[in-house]
């Protein structure tokens, strides 16, 4: 693993995180011929799952923000009319 020592600390931490993400799938990825490549594919799948979840939460937060803005706009218009 000497090549990892040449990486910037932040990148090395990211690589370690990806390796940990793939660990739950170890029983599957060790069955293939190219274990390290399989491990990376598993990590990529985990990252994709996290990304989809994050995107869904962001979309929900954006919808809530639009509702709050709309409510504040209506409240402001009501105050101006009063």
What is the tens place of the pLDDT at every residue in 59-79? 999 999 999 988 888 887 676
What is the tens place of the pLDDT at every residue in 10-22? 999 998 998 898 9
> HSE (CB half, 13 Å, CA atoms) of 16?
10
Tokens matching residue 82: 């009063």
Q: Write down the pLDDT at residue 65.
A: 93
């Amino acid at each position: 693993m000497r090549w990892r020592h040449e990486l910037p600390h932040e990148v090395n931490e990211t690589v370690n995180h990806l390796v940990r993400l793939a660990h739950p799938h170890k029983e599957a990825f060790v069955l293939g011929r190219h274990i390290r490549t399989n491990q990376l594919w598993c990590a990529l799948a985990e990252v994709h799952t996290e990304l989809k979840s994050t995107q869904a939460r962001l979309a929900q937060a954006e919808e809530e923000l639009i509702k709050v803005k709309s409510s504040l706009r209506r409240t402001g218009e009501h105050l101006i009319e009063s």
